[in-house]
Amino acid sequence: MTVRKNQAQLTADEKRRFVNALLALKRNGQYDTFVTTHNAFIMSDTDNGDRVGHRSPSFLPWHRRFLIQFEQALQSVDPSVALPYWDWTADRTTASSLWAADFLGGTGRARDGQVMDGPFAASSGGWTVNVRVDGRNFLRRSLGAGGRQLPTRAEVDSVLAMSTYDAHPWNSASDGFRNHLEGWRGVNLHNRVHVWVGGQMATGVSPNDPVFWLHHAFIDKLWADWQRRHPNSPYLPAAGTPNVVDLRDTMRPWNDVTPADMLDHRPHYTFDTAA
C-alpha cells in the first residue's frame, strides 16, 4: 500500500528517488501531458459554464484522480515512490527543507524569477518548461513575494470545521467547505499557496513546478481529514445539477470515474498521520 508522507519526514534516499522519478517522467514526455491536461481544465472551467477541475464541487475528487494517475506514473519508474505532501501550516518559510538544493530548490532570482539551484533549475539541464504561458522556458518562483503569508493552522481548522461540503451556486461564490478550501471565499487556502509560490504555480501551467504535487497532496489530505470529522456530510450536489459533476456523473478527461468513486482514498493510498 502506498503511504504518502510529510515531505519534512522523507529520508535522503526517498527524496532522491522522488526527484529521479520526476526527471524520468520529464525525459519521456509523460510529465508534460499532465501539465497540458491541467492547463486545459483551468482554461475551460468557468463559473457560469461547464466546470470540472476547478470552481466546482468536483475540484477535490478531480484532483484526487489526477494525483493518483500521476503517482502511478511515478511508480512505473520506481515502485517505491509515493507522493509526499507539503504541510504549509508548519513549513512556512523559504528556509524550509522543502526548498533545499537537494530537493526542490529555492526561490527565483529577482530579475526574472528563474530558479537557480536544485535539480529543476535551468542550469541542471533536465527541466525545460515546454508547456508555458509565455516565452520563458525555465522554472520560475517568487516565494513569499510582497510579504505574502501562507495559511495558518488556525485558518485550516476554521475551514475543517465547516459541516457542509458545497452549496448553490456550485461555483467560486459557493459557501461551503470545498470553496473555502479551494480558496475563492473566506481565509483562502489552496489558491493562496499557489500565489505564495509564484512563477508557474500562479498560472494554469502550475504542474510545471513539482511543488504542485506536494501542495495538492496536502489539499487531498485535508479533504480526508474533513471527511473523518464529518462522516455524515455527503458530497454535494447529488443529482440533476447543470454544468457541474454530480455524485455519480463521470469526470472528464477520464470518463470512467465519478466523485463517488473517489470519496475513499484508502483503496489507493494512506497517509502517514491522520489529523
Report DSSP state, residue 6. B
- Nearest C-alpha neighbor of 215 from the set 143, 124, 127: 143
Domain ranges of the chain: 2-93+150-271
178-223 per-position pLDDT tens digit: 999 999 999 999 999 999 999 999 999 999 999 999 999 999 999 9
Helix (H, G, I), strand (E, B) or coil at 30: helix
CA neighbor of 197 nearest in space, from 175, 178, 215: 215
Query: How far is 255 from 247, CA to CA, in rounded Å?
Result: 14
Predicted local distance difference test score (pLDDT) of residue 160: 98
Instruction: Give the fold, CATH level 3, of 2-93+150-271.
Output: di-copper center containing domain from catechol oxidase (1.10.1280)
Residues 6+ apart with CB under 8 A from 78: 17, 20, 21, 24
Residue 125 has pLDDT above 80, yes or no: yes
- Per residue in 13-48, pLDDT (tens digit) is 999 999 999 999 999 999 999 999 999 998 899 999
pLDDT at 274: 72
- State CA 222 to chain mean position distance: 11
Model pLDDT for residues 66-78, shown as the tens digit of each residue: 999 999 999 999 9
Q: How far is CA 8 from the centre of its chain?
A: 17
The interaxial angle of helices 59-77 and 211-229, nearest 10 deg, is 130
**Per-residue pLDDT, 1:** 87
φ, ψ (nearest 5 deg) of residue 114 = -65, 125
| Gap between the terminal Cα atoms of the chain | 20
- Dist. CA 101–CA 105, nearest whole Å: 4
Q: In terms of pTM, does the model score above 0.75?
A: yes
Q: Which residue has the cell 452549496?
A: 167
Q: What percent of the chain has pLDDT over 70?
A: 100
* Arithmetic mean of pLDDT, 89-99: 97
Sorting pLDDT into bands at 50, 70 and 90, what band is 248? very high
254 pLDDT exceeds 70?
yes
Q: 6: which strand partners?
A: 85
The C-alpha cell at 2 is 502506498
C-alpha to C-alpha distance for 198 and 179, rounded to whole angstroms: 21
